[in-house]
Structure 1
Amino acid sequence: MKNDIIIIGGGIVGLATALQLKNKNPGLKLSIIEKEDSLACHQTGHNSGVIHSGLYYKPGSLKAQNCIQGYHMLLDFCNKHEIPYELCGKIVVATEEREIPLLKKLKERGSANGLTNLKDLNAEELKAYEPHVNGLKGLFVPQTGIVDYKQVARKYGEKVQEKDGALIFGERVQSIKPSKGGAEIVTNKSSYETKLVVNCAGLYSDKIARLTAEKLNLKIIPFRGEYYQLKKEKEYLVKNLIYPVPDPAFPFLGVHFTRMISGGVEAGPNAVLAFQREGYKKTDLKISELAETLAWPGFQKVAFKYWQTGFGEMYRSFSKAAFTKALQKLLPEITKDDLEPGGAGVRAQACDRDGGLLDDFLILEDEKAINVCNAPSPGATSSLAIGDKVSDLVLKRF
């Protein structure tokens, strides 16, 4: 099969890229290769469903630019295709004095990113938004919302197919070879000719990138985020979304409470090293993938730097009491008995050789491929904006 473009990965970013390409150039022959039997099985399908506002990201960064742009594009898409969402807003809560200056900086960053109507809250005002919350100060962010990203991704896929894009399921890419017209992609079942490869493989994006780029100074480190759910009779404790003030040195947001568009309230996640890239359970283990992670010099430096944080996250993973204690900082009324096991997701976190956990989106290009190598949260919110940017890079070559 000859293609102009083959996108590897049927998650929300790959699908958004395909849709933007088809919108801009309907005549392109385009296929998406997905190793699973359906779309959005991994990071997209295990997403918490939060529509991020752009509060946290460094002004001018790809995350900030794409989150703000993608936010509006996502809402427009949902409105057009009648996909349910809700802009319920969230509160970020400082529970300790040392967090108050960080909360102030967070508001300044949000304002620099164009967010309006951010509202400072004192302890009493916090209670008006979330009656059961514990906090000294807070920040209300009205733009934050909730949606089902799997539903969004499926709709992207439908629109791609309507525009004659092909979805190829159940095929795992094994090699990418140079060919006269560009590249030959060999899967476990077939082979495909294409002028250009676009790598949106998420948890395996570094492995796909290495099929065309010999030197790649990063590796995807999988971090599992585990959730509990509030029992039905305790859902009244949370009206919308409650977040802690994040640790500026660590690229995770801390345990929080999220009301879901389909109903129910999630509590979490923690962030523990997954022992395989698609390791959604504590017992999931792939020796070869774990060995690769542990041998990566960058991960060794991260582990040395954050060993105390990592140990605390791992302890919470195995101790419901410790997990509950972390949640009680925000909601003191929560007890261990109020929680039941929820889902889990695995975040594809790019880590460079020097121990840097990449905080921004990363798109790398070589002669035969465009590689989206780091698109964690807010990747889903930003998907149409990332797709817009990648599609522009693609179309420059045609």
Structure 2
Amino acid sequence: MKFNATLLKDYTIIPFKGIYLKYAKNKEDVATNIYPVPNLANPFLGVHFTKTVDGSIKIGPTAIPAFWRENYSGFKNFNLFEVLQVLYHESRLFIYNAFNFRDLAFQEMKKYRKNNFIGLSAYMVKALDQGGFGDFLKPGIRAQLMNKRTMELLQDFVIEGDRNSLHVLNAVSPAFTCSIAFARFVVDQIMEKRKAS
């Protein structure tokens, strides 16, 4: 028995590049993770402070539109098919300005300017030395789920499947993904689909 793939036809993945900036002055100016109040209209959390395992401080990430799935730096791992596919979906978002995508894209692109990026975090920690930041760190890619029909960047899990297989889409939160409560929820969904068939 095979999974009915037509259940997933409304979705695609849009890559976004997340860049962090290291605070090089010291490890003491920030004692814990600090998050801004989230904008519920935006699927991204915004620039925040993170304490790393070794006690270092970094700000980020960005959510800059990427043009292929492994668009980490330059043209390394360039994939023309993915570029065309991503540009098609991003241009639709841009033209129709779905969930204010134009402003979001322009705001994120400005974060390539170091001073702008630092300024977005500075209001959360007033005593921070804005000249104490070092270099940009290695970026990551966020696989953001988009509903092609509604042109919405989804902010929550999507569970699709049938009695043969169940798929968790848009697992953007590692902490929630590995939680026992979420595991129970997924198992309950599997059991319901088995009973219904």
* TM-score, length-scaled by structure 2: 0.80
State the 1:315 CA deviation: 2.2
- Kindly indicate whether residue 104 of structure 2 is the aligned counterpart of residue 309 of structure 1: yes
State the 1:336 CA deviation: 4.3
Distance 1:222 1:257, change over 3 A: same
State the 1:337 CA deviation: 4.5
State the 1:240 CA deviation: 0.6
State the 1:282 CA deviation: 5.1
- Kindly indicate whether residue 162 of structure 2 is the aligned counterpart of residue 369 of structure 1: no
- 1:288 matched residue in structure 2: 81
**8 Å CA contact retained: 1:230, 1:267:** yes
**8 Å CA contact retained: 1:223, 1:347:** yes
- 2:28 matched residue in structure 1: 236
For 1:300 and 1:213, the matched residues in 2 are separated by: 24
For 2:143 and 2:171, the matched residues in 1 are separated by: 8
**8 Å CA contact retained: 2:159, 2:168:** yes
For 1:250 and 1:302, the matched residues in 2 are separated by: 15
Query: Structure 1: which 4+ aligned runs deviate by more than 4 Å?
Result: none
Q: Which runs of 5+ in 2 are unaligned?
A: none
Q: Which runs of 5+ in 1 are unaligned?
A: 1-181, 184-196, 198-211
**8 Å CA contact retained: 2:27, 2:55:** no
Where do 1:60-71 residues align within 5 Å?
none
TM-superposition CA deviations, 1:185-206 (whole Å, max 9, x none): xxxxxxxxxxxx7xxxxxxxxx
Where do 1:151-190 residues align within 5 Å?
182-183=1-2
For 1:348 and 1:290, the matched residues in 2 are separated by: 15
- Kindly indicate whether residue 147 of structure 2 is the aligned counterpart of residue 352 of structure 1: yes
State the 1:394 CA deviation: 3.8
* TM-score, length-scaled by structure 1: 0.42
Query: How many residue pairs were aligned?
Result: 186
**8 Å CA contact retained: 2:16, 2:65:** yes
Where do 1:321-332 residues align within 5 Å?
321-332=115-126
What letter corresponds to residue 383 of structure 1 in structure 2?
C
SS at match of 2:152: coil
- 2:71 matched residue in structure 1: 279
Q: Percent identity?
A: 30
SS at match of 2:109: helix
State the 1:251 CA deviation: 1.1
State the 1:367 CA deviation: 5.2
- Kindly indicate whether residue 48 of structure 2 is the aligned counterpart of residue 256 of structure 1: yes
**8 Å CA contact retained: 2:118, 2:130:** yes
- 1:220 matched residue in structure 2: 13
Distance 1:282 1:236, change over 3 A: farther
**8 Å CA contact retained: 2:26, 2:56:** no
For 1:283 and 1:322, the matched residues in 2 are separated by: 25
For 1:294 and 1:361, the matched residues in 2 are separated by: 24
**8 Å CA contact retained: 1:229, 1:342:** yes
**8 Å CA contact retained: 2:48, 2:59:** yes
Where do 1:43-192 residues align within 5 Å?
182-183=1-2
Q: Which has the higher contact order (CA 8 A, sep 6+)?
A: 2
TM-superposition CA deviations, 1:305-359 (whole Å, max 9, x none): 3212211211212x21221222222234332452222232222211112221112
State the 1:257 CA deviation: 0.5
* RMSD (CA atoms): 2.6
Deviates more, 1:238-247 or 1:381-390: 381-390
TM-superposition CA deviations, 1:86-107 (whole Å, max 9, x none): xxxxxxxxxxxxxxxxxxxxxx
What letter corresponds to residue 265 of structure 1 in structure 2?
I
For 1:260 and 1:362, the matched residues in 2 are separated by: 30
State the 1:395 CA deviation: 5.1
Distance 1:395 1:381, change over 3 A: same
For 2:33 and 2:13, the matched residues in 1 are separated by: 29
For the pair shown, the structure with the greater C-alpha radius of gyration is 1
TM-superposition CA deviations, 1:84-142 (whole Å, max 9, x none): xxxxxxxxxxxxxxxxxxxxxxxxxxxxxxxxxxxxxxxxxxxxxxxxxxxxxxxxxxx
**8 Å CA contact retained: 1:302, 1:355:** no
TM-superposition CA deviations, 1:217-252 (whole Å, max 9, x none): 111111111101111x42221111122222221111
